[in-house]
Structure 1
């Protein structure tokens, strides 16, 4: 039945198949960014931190080990903001919840909306770095001269101590970059 629906001309049939393949690739191209982001959030791949709920975080047991978290901040070229962590590092027991603050200030004479991207280094510990609350991926609009404090609540999963590759990591870097948000 499907064969009856296709044109009998070989060239036309080949053209339709090629067009269908091109449209499928175009669709996959558009879907690849959200699918990749979802994959990274689920697996921690590429230094992507895990996002957990307050209820999930409350079940985590504090471990005997400790670790240092270093905070880094950047702004993309063309972003008229000053953006910096309010602390350089925090020492913490693995499994405890901590809060860190970043400060952003609009240095321009007009409102600017930005969005932050983030990553964790070393990349392979991203799956153990869990954010409970974060300003990342939310549009932030600052009026001219306005500054705001932005909190991040996080913990490092005690499972890091069971990973032979990650158990000896002494410091994790959480880095954010603010970009001008697309209209």
Structure 2
């Protein structure tokens, strides 16, 4: 009788341990799925990792102080596009609404959809760099051989000059990398580069 009670207690304890392990594993899986959007939200709010801000309008106060903006463009090897900035750099006033242009061209014989990811360096400048309008906000579909102008409207918050951590920033580099969108209209991993 005592052996049966001991066996029942052991079974109950093992069941609790197993349920606890399943709950921990389930929680870890749930956190792994939630971590990407939560990290993206954190970066967007804080500018961490060079994530820029999204603005609706440039501030009314434009400073006479200037900063140099450099432009960089890259394309992932799976995307058969050419992509480059139309200007290598500009000197802008803090708080001023500016317009820069990039050019993209689909080098394949099929329509292809791409999505740009972006950041600024130095990373600490991300919280002061705001985009008002940008091609990077949406996926872009280019027809075969199509070449398009891709503008970005931005400003640099004058508060960057007041922050002790960013007073030394004289140049900001805005970088874009275009990737093939997961649901590209040309289909999954076609052989676009070879024309078929």
- The equivalent of 2:91 in structure 1 is 91
Aligned counterparts of 1:53 and 1:16: Cα–Cα separation in 2: 49
Output the CA distance in 1 between the equivalents of 2:127 and 2:178.
Answer: 22
Where do 1:23-172 residues align within 5 Å? 23-54=26-57, 57=58, 59-172=59-172
TM-score, with structure 1 as normaliser: 0.91
Cα deviations by residue, 1:72-114 (Å, 9 ceiling, x for unpaired): 0000112100000111111111110100011100000111111
Query: Which of 12, 15, 22 is residue 12 of structure 1 equivalent to?
Result: 15
Q: Which runs of 4+ in 1 moved over 2 A?
A: none
From the CA coordinates, give the structure whose radius of gyration is larger.
2
| Cα drift, residue 174 of structure 1 | 0.1
Instruction: Using the TM superposition, give the Cα deviation of residue 137 of structure 1 relative to its aligned residue in structure 2, in angstroms.
Output: 4.1
What is the alpha-carbon distance in structure 2 between the residues aligned to residue 73 and residue 60 of structure 1?
Answer: 30
Q: RMSD between aligned alpha carbons?
A: 1.1
Partner Cα separation in structure 2 for residue 81 and residue 40 of structure 1:
28
TM-score (norm 2): 0.85
Q: How many residues align?
A: 173
5+ residue gaps in structure 2?
Answer: 1-10, 184-196
